[in-house]
C-alpha cells in the first residue's frame, strides 16, 4: 500500500488539505511516589517480579484501599501546572474489565468526577517548534487511577507470567480535547508535558521505560475516531499517526466507512484490537470503600505558591536580554534541573557579584567546562567542578592571573584526577604549575619565548616552508605547539609576534 511504502522509505509526510486531521491525546503518567496508590507497598520499577506486592495489590478478598496523600499532592501539582480547575469534590469509580494483570477484576479510577477539569497548555512557535505562532491545547480532565500489573509473553504471544509489582502504582491520566491539527503539535505537546512533570519532580518523564504511556485518537473530516493504545516513544506516536491517517484517508477515497474502534501499533502498522466500548461497557460504579476527596477552596492558590518557576517562564527568561542564551542552550538547561542550578550560581557569581560580562558565564559553562568533559568522553558531573570553583577560575583568567589555555589544562587535569576536587583554584594552579611567569623580567621572558620559537621552527621546517609560500594559516600550528610547550602560560599573541619576527 502507498502509506506503508511512505513509512518504509522515510518520505516527507504531508497532510492532505482535503482530509482534515483531528487528534486528541491521553497521557498516563506514573507518579514519583514512594508508595503505591492504595497500599503501603513500595513502588518499584526494577525489583524482582512480584516482590513488592501487598494483599490489596493482588486482589485478596477482604483487603481494603487507603488513598496515598503523596499521590494526591502530585496530581494536584500537575493540575495547577496545566492551568486546570481543581475540583473541590472528586470521587473514585470501579472500571470493570477482566485481564490477568488486573487481579481485582476492576481498576480504581476517576471517570465521572475527576480531580481536575478544563485545563490548557499553550504551545509556542518559537519555543515548541510548531508551524503556528501559538496553539492552545485544551485539557478535558486529569484523573487519578491505579496502574495494572505487567503481563509477560513468550515468543508465541502466550501469557507466561504476570508481574504485580506495577499493580496499584499511582497514575494520573490527562485527557485532551481533540485540538491537535498536525503532527508537530502532538509532538510538541508530549515533549512539553514531559518537561513539566520532570521539572516539578512529578514523574521521571520517560516514555521508553513506561513511566509515561500515550494513547492517541484520530479522525478525518468528522468521521468516527480511532484510538491507538500504548505508544511508548515519540517515533511510535508519529509513525502510528502517519499510518492511521493514511489508512483512513485511503478508506475514504475508496468510499469505505471508518469504524470507531481501538487499534494497536506493531511497529509497522495499526491493527484492530476491539470495537470501541462506551462507558457503559465498563460498568463504572462508585467505589464504596473510598470516601469522597474534599478539598479546601484555596487549595489551587496554595499549591501554586509552592511551585518553582515553570519551564516556559525559565526559557523566556534565559533567552531574554539579561542572560542572552541561544534557545538550544536554554532548552538544555530547562531539561536538566541540576545543571540549571549550576548555571544560575555561575551567573550570580560572575555577572551579579563581580560585574563581569554575561558571555563569560555562558561560554565557560557550555564551551569550556562541558567541552572538557566531552573531549574526555565523560558525563558532565556538577560535583567534580563546583560552581564556586569554576567562578574562581574564570576570575583568575579575567584578572590575568592565569591564561585561558592554562585554565583549560587545569579543567582537563581535574576531570581526569577527581581526587583533586578538594583543592582550591590557587592550590590547583600551583600543583599543575600553570601560573603566569610573573617572576621573570620582560627581557628574560622575551629570551625564553625566542628560544622556544626558534626550536619549533628548526623542527618544523615543512610548516615554515608553507608559511613562506603564503599559507599564513599554518602559523596557527606553530603557535599551538608553543602554547602546548609552555602550558598556556604565555599569551598566543606573544608567540605570534616572535614567530613573525623570526620568519621575516
In order, the DSSP letters of 307-363 are S---HHHHHHHHTSTTT---HHHHHHHHT-HHHHHHHHHHHIIIIIIT---HHHHHH
Cα distances from 126 to residues 312, 327, 331, in angstroms, run: 11, 9, 12
The CA distance from 15 to 19, in Å, is: 7
Q: Where are the domains of the chain?
A: 2-294, 309-431, 442-502
Alpha helices of 176-277 — where are they, by DSSP H? Answer: 183-199, 234-253
In a 13 Å sphere around the CA of 491, the CA atoms on its Cβ side amount to 8
Sequence-distant (≥ 6) Cβ neighbours of residue 243 within 8 angstroms: 3, 4, 7, 265, 268, 269, 270
Strands (DSSP E) contained in 167-225 are: 170-176, 212-220
pLDDT band at 11 (very low <50, low <70, confident <90, very high): low
Query: Which whole number is the average pLDDT over 468-474?
Result: 85
* pLDDT of res. 10: 46
The CA distance from 38 to 64, in Å, is: 8
* pLDDT of res. 442: 67
Q: Are 385 and 411 in contact (CB under 8 A)?
A: yes
The CA distance from 109 to 102, in Å, is: 13
Query: Where is pLDDT greater, at 4 or 203?
Result: 203
Closest CA to 146 of 179, 168, 128: 168
The CA distance from 230 to 22, in Å, is: 19
Q: Is it the case that residue 8 has pLDDT exceeding 80?
A: no
Q: Are 246 and 15 in contact (CB under 8 A)?
A: no
Alpha helices of 376-460 — where are they, by DSSP H? Answer: 387-398, 404-416, 425-431, 442-458
Sequence-distant (≥ 6) Cβ neighbours of residue 7 within 8 angstroms: 239, 242, 243, 268
Number of H helices, E strands in the chain: 18, 16
Give percent of the chain with pLDDT exceeding 70.
92
* pLDDT of res. 441: 61
Sheet containing 85-86: give its strands across: 85-86, 116-124, 134-146, 170-176, 21-30, 212-220, 226-231, 261-265, 270-275
- Pick the range with the lowest mean pLDDT from 26-30, 48-52, 99-103, 240-244: 99-103
Cα distances from 497 to residues 333, 404, 444, 479, 486, in angstroms, run: 41, 18, 16, 10, 16
Q: Are 497 and 478 in contact (CB under 8 A)?
A: no
Query: Which whole number is the average pLDDT over 408-417?
Result: 87
* pLDDT of res. 156: 66
Q: What angle do CA 145, 81, 178 make, to 5 degrees?
A: 70
Q: Is it the case that residue 349 has pLDDT exceeding 70?
A: yes
- Pick the range with the lowest mean pLDDT from 57-71, 123-137, 461-475: 461-475
Q: Are 366 and 329 in contact (CB under 8 A)?
A: yes
Sequence-distant (≥ 6) Cβ neighbours of residue 263 within 8 angstroms: 226, 227, 228, 229, 244, 270, 271, 272, 273
Q: Is it the case that residue 299 has pLDDT exceeding 60?
A: yes
pLDDT digits (tens, 9 = 90+) for 147-174: 988 877 766 666 678 888 899 999 999 9
* pLDDT of res. 276: 62
Q: Are 486 and 455 in contact (CB under 8 A)?
A: no
pLDDT band at 268 (very low <50, low <70, confident <90, very high): very high
Q: Is it the case that residue 297 has pLDDT exceeding 70?
A: yes
As a whole number, the mean pLDDT across the chain is 89
pLDDT band at 103 (very low <50, low <70, confident <90, very high): confident
Q: Are 9 and 127 in contact (CB under 8 A)?
A: no
pLDDT digits (tens, 9 = 90+) for 302-340: 999 999 999 999 999 999 999 999 999 999 999 999 999
Query: Which whole number is the average pLDDT over 449-473?
Result: 86
* pLDDT of res. 449: 76
Backbone angles phi, psi at 175, to 5 degrees: -120, 120
Q: Is it the case that residue 108 has pLDDT exceeding 90?
A: yes
Query: Which whole number is the average pLDDT over 251-268?
Result: 92
Query: Which whole number is the average pLDDT over 217-224?
Result: 95
Top mean-pLDDT range of 98-107, 178-187, 367-376: 178-187
Q: Which of 1.10.730, 3.30.1560, 1.10.10, 1.20.120 would CATH assign to domain 442-502?
A: 1.10.10
Sequence-distant (≥ 6) Cβ neighbours of residue 280 within 8 angstroms: none
Q: What angle do CA 448, 454, 456 make, to 5 degrees?
A: 105
Q: Is it the case that residue 436 has pLDDT exceeding 70?
A: no
Terminal Cα distance for the chain, rounded: 72
pLDDT digits (tens, 9 = 90+) for 50-69: 888 899 988 889 899 999 99
Cα distances from 63 to residues 37, 70, 146, 445, in angstroms, run: 14, 21, 16, 84
3-state class (DSSP) for residue 116: strand
Q: Is it the case that residue 5 has pLDDT exceeding 50?
A: no
- Pick the range with the lowest mean pLDDT from 77-81, 89-93, 174-178, 284-288: 284-288
The CA distance from 440 to 224, in Å, is: 84
Query: Which whole number is the average pLDDT over 163-189?
Result: 95
* pLDDT of res. 291: 94
Query: Where is pLDDT greater, at 11 or 269?
Result: 269
* pLDDT of res. 429: 83
Q: Is it the case that residue 435 has pLDDT exceeding 90?
A: no
Tell me, yes or no, if the pTM score tops 0.85: no
Radius of gyration of the CA atoms of the chain, in A = 30
Query: 152: how many CB neighbours lie within 10 A of its CB?
Result: 12
Amino acid at each position: 500500500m502507498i502509506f506503508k511504502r511512505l513509512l518504509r522509505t522515510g518520505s516527507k509526510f504531508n497532510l492532505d488539505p482535503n482530509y482534515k486531521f483531528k487528534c486528541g491525546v491521553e497521557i498516563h503518567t506514573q507518579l514519583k511516589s514512594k508508595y503505591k496508590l492504595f497500599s503501603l507497598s513500595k513502588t518499584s520499577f526494577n525489583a524482582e517480579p512480584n516482590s513488592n506486592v501487598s494483599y490489596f495489590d493482588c486482589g485478596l478478598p477482604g483487603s481494603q484501599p487507603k488513598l496515598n496523600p503523596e499521590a494526591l499532592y502530585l496530581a494536584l501539582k500537575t493540575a495547577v501546572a496545566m492551568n486546570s480547575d481543581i475540583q473541590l469534590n472528586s470521587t473514585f469509580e470501579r472500571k470493570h474489565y477482566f485481564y490477568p494483570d488486573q487481579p481485582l477484576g476492576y481498576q480504581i479510577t476517576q471517570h465521572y468526577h475527576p480531580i481536575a477539569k478544563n485545563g490548557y497548555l499553550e504551545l509556542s512557535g518559537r519555543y515548541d517548534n510548531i508551524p503556528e505562532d501559538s496553539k492552545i491545547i485544551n485539557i478535558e480532565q486529569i484523573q487519578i487511577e491505579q496502574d495494572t500489573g505487567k503481563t509477560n509473553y513468550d515468543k508465541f504471544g502466550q501469557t507466561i507470567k504476570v508481574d504485580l509489582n506495577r499493580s496499584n502504582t499511582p497514575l494520573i491520566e490527562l485527557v485532551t480535547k481533540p485540538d491537535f491539527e498536525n503532527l508537530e503539535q502532538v509532538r510538541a505537546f508530549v515533549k512539553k508535558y514531559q518537561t513539566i512533570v520532570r521539572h516539578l519532580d512529578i514523574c521521571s518523564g520517560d516514555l521508553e521505560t513506561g513511566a509515561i504511556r500515550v494513547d492517541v485518537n484520530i479522525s478525518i473530516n468528522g468521521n468516527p475516531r480511532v484510538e491507538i493504545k500504548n505508544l511508548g516513544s515519540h517515533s511510535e506516536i508519529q509513525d502510528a499517526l502517519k499510518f492511521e491517517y493514511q489508512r483512513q484517508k485511503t478508506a475514504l477515497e475508496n468510499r469505505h466507512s471508518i469504524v470507531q474502534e481501538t487499534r494497536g501499533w506493531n511497529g509497522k502498522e495499526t491493527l484492530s484490537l476491539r470495537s470501541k466500548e462506551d462507558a457503559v461497557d465498563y460498568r463504572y460504579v462508585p467505589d464504596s470503600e473510598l470516601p469522597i476527596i474534599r478539598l479546601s477552596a484555596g487549595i489551587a492558590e496554595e499549591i501554586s505558591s509552592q511551585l518553582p518557576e515553570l519551564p516556559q517562564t525559565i526559557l523566556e527568561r534565559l533567552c531574554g536580554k539579561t542572560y542572552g542564551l541561544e534557545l538550544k542552550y536554554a532548552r538544555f538547561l530547562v531539561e536538566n534541573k541540576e545543571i540549571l542550578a549550576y548555571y544560575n550560581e555561575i551567573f550570580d557569581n560572575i555577572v551579579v557579584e563581580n560585574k563581569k560580562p554575561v558571555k563569560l558565564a555562558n561560554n565557560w559553562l557550555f564551551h569550556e567546562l562541558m567541552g572538557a568533559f566531552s573531549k574526555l568522553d565523560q558525563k558532565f558531573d556538577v560535583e567534580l567542578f563546583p560552581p564556586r570553583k569554576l567562578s574562581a577560575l574564570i576570575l583568575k583568567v579575567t584578572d590575568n592571573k592565569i591564561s585561558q589555555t592554562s585554565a583549560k589544562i587545569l579543567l582537563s587535569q581535574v576531570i581526569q584526577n577527581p581526587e583533586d576536587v578538594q583543592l582550591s583554584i590557587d592550590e590547583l594552579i600551583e600543583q599543575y604549575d600553570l601560573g603566569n611567569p610573573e617572576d621573570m623580567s620582560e627581557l628574560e621572558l622575551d629570551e625564553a619565548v625566542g628560544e622556544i620559537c626558534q626550536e619549533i621552527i628548526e623542527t618544523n621546517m615543512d610548516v615554515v616552508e608553507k608559511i613562506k609560500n603564503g599559507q599564513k594559516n599554518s602559523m596557527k600550528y606553530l603557535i599551538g605547539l608553543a602554547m602546548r610547550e609552555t602550558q598556556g602560560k604565555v599569551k598566543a599573541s606573544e608567540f605570534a609576534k616572535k614567530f613573525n619576527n623570526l620568519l621575516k
